[in-house]
Amino acid sequence: MAAQTIRKFALTSPLPAGTGSPAGHLRDCTVRTQQAHTTARGSFLHQVVRFLAVLYALFIIQLTLIPFDFLTGSEGSKTSSLFVLADSELTVLNVASNVGLFIPFGLLAYWAIHQGGRNAARTLLQVIAAGALLSALVEWMQAYSPSRVSSLIDLTCNTCGGILGAGLASAFARLVPRLVGAAICAFHEQPRLAMAKSYVALLVILALSPFTFAVDASRVKQMAKVATFKPFEQDGQYVELGKQALRESDTRRYALAELLRQRLWPAWAAQAASFALFVWLWYPVLRTVHKFDEPLASVLICWMGLLLAVCLSMLQAPIISRGFHVTDILARMLGIFAGLGLYRACDLTMRQYDRKRQRDLTTRLALLCLIGVTAFIVYTSLIPWIRDGREGRVIGALASAEMLPLYSYFHARFDVMVQDIAQKVTAYLLFGALLVMSSRRLQARPWPQRTCIVAALATALAATLEGGQLFLLIRTTSLTDLLIALFAGGTGAVLHEHAVKFYEYARSRAAVIGRAHPAEAELSLTDQLIATLTEPHPEAPEEALPERTPASQPTRR
């Protein structure tokens, strides 16, 4: 859209009066094209900031309303508890957390509303009103939650946080647009490095989700007790729970303990795979961008991965339902070493083949990854394999309310819902992308047809697994997984094409940078010393040479 606007602006600009020549018109069009490009880029950045403001507002609603348990009917009439002061906690921690929560909203809202030429005071008033309305909406909804308190103190602190954020934004009016613009330019200049940094940010966001931090002292102590410093201690805890349920002849509790235990292994496998991908993204950056040799790049990638693995576990310690677990660090370290070995083996193999053999090897590697992702989906959908012996299981499951889309999530904890949806969406995204990558026939088809085929295959896989869940204990059959597979599988097929284009662009950009800045020749220490001796030193004094005079010149005969 921006390119079309620029092209239309440049081609339809009339010949200005007094130019006198086509060259002057060309210079004028060039200046106008640059102005139009700057305006289009500024509009795009403005849209990005608006999206971030809306996203952060949704994050505030999610954080302040969990666990989403609301009272309805006659018991839900709590207008007397709206904006109370008696049950509010006027502590430094409560005030600081409520003020700090709305500071980023004030920043983003100010940059989203403010435009060049608009009155800053008017924008500031609009941001204050938006922050107050958002806080009032949240506090009003908290009045109908038995686990929340609608407080006038929280409303005041949230509004003050919005005012403080808007004030900071007005003082640094162009910080966020410039940061976003710098990130976009980084993707164009050094796409490999930008992609590696973005992946690290994505790992941090996924590790911190669903952002349910324990802030008071009692919950922090509880999280510290949940932390496990012994490898595979969580697995042993669930085994003991299962044995206790068997001694009490409680089959459903035993099945639940087995489900929680068996879900640990795919979670650890996913963490290992994520850090193997971390190696595949950062190792070529260290080799091509930073010019490290292979041994030093291997040592650095292991050090960076280990540091990131420990930092992620430390960040997860104060999060409810996460905690600090040594097994997570071990799984990530295993992924680092496995990814490093596989990358060096594949890189060495790729160098020996031509382009056609390289494409064949890439297709086989994608097929192997597709088999692994499919096995992950099947395993997580059918565990634990404990059959339900009750009659009428099929009719009862089809007639239950849990069969409706998203109905089962309404009765689940928010953190469990987020983790389950994120796991399924990611798995089917990879399924769709790898399915296209491993099939030449699908790649030859147009993208709408290819997307429909992949979405249909993903939905068929999900429907088959849901049919198997009809006969399993404590598993719920629902249409939710079919919808997730339909949209995520199709999206994965679409993202594959963009990922391939970005990869080709990254390779071409790296080649251009390599030609523009060629690597220095590797010289020994003796050769470098000789080279410095043969070249004149820039600060060395220059000796004046005697000038020739006509008398000193030889006479010609």
pLDDT at residue 19 in the model: 44
pTM given for the model = 0.66
Name the more confident of 21 and 50: 50
Per DSSP, helices labelled H in 285-386 are: 294-316, 326-351, 355-382
- Cα 205 to Cα 173, 280, 312, 316, 352: the distances in Å are 27, 20, 10, 11, 39
Question: Can you say how many angstroms the Cα of residue 485 is from the centroid of all Cα atoms in its chain?
Answer: 20
Each residue's pLDDT tens digit, 428-448 = 999 999 999 998 888 888 888
What mean pLDDT, rounded, does the chain reach? 76
Answer whether 302's CB lies under 8 Å from 336's CB: yes
Distances (CA, A) of 188 to 72, 171, 193: 52, 30, 10
Q: How confident is the model at residue 27 (pLDDT cuts 50, 70, 90)?
A: very low
C-alpha span between 418 and 422 (Å, rounded): 6
Q: Report the 10 Å Cβ neighbour count for 455.
A: 22
> Once rounded to an integer, what is the mean pLDDT over residues 334-345?
90
- CA gap 545, 547 in Å, rounded: 6
Of 356-370, 396-410, 527-541, the range with the highest mean pLDDT is 356-370
Q: Which residues contact 32 (CB under 8 A, 6 or more apart)?
A: 9, 10, 13
Predicted local confidence at residue 269, as pLDDT: 92
Using CA atoms, how far residue 58 sits from 62, 65, 135, 411, 517, in Å, is: 6, 11, 12, 20, 45
167 in Cβ contact with 191 (< 8 Å)? no
Question: Where is average pLDDT lowest: 144-148, 174-178, 360-364, 540-544?
Answer: 540-544
322 or 10, higher pLDDT: 322
Provide the 10 A C-beta neighbour count for residue 226: 15
pLDDT higher than threshold 90 for residue 375: yes
Helices (H), 90-208: 92-113, 120-142, 152-171, 175-189, 191-208
- CA distances to 298, 447, 450 from 456, rounded to whole Å, are 42, 14, 10
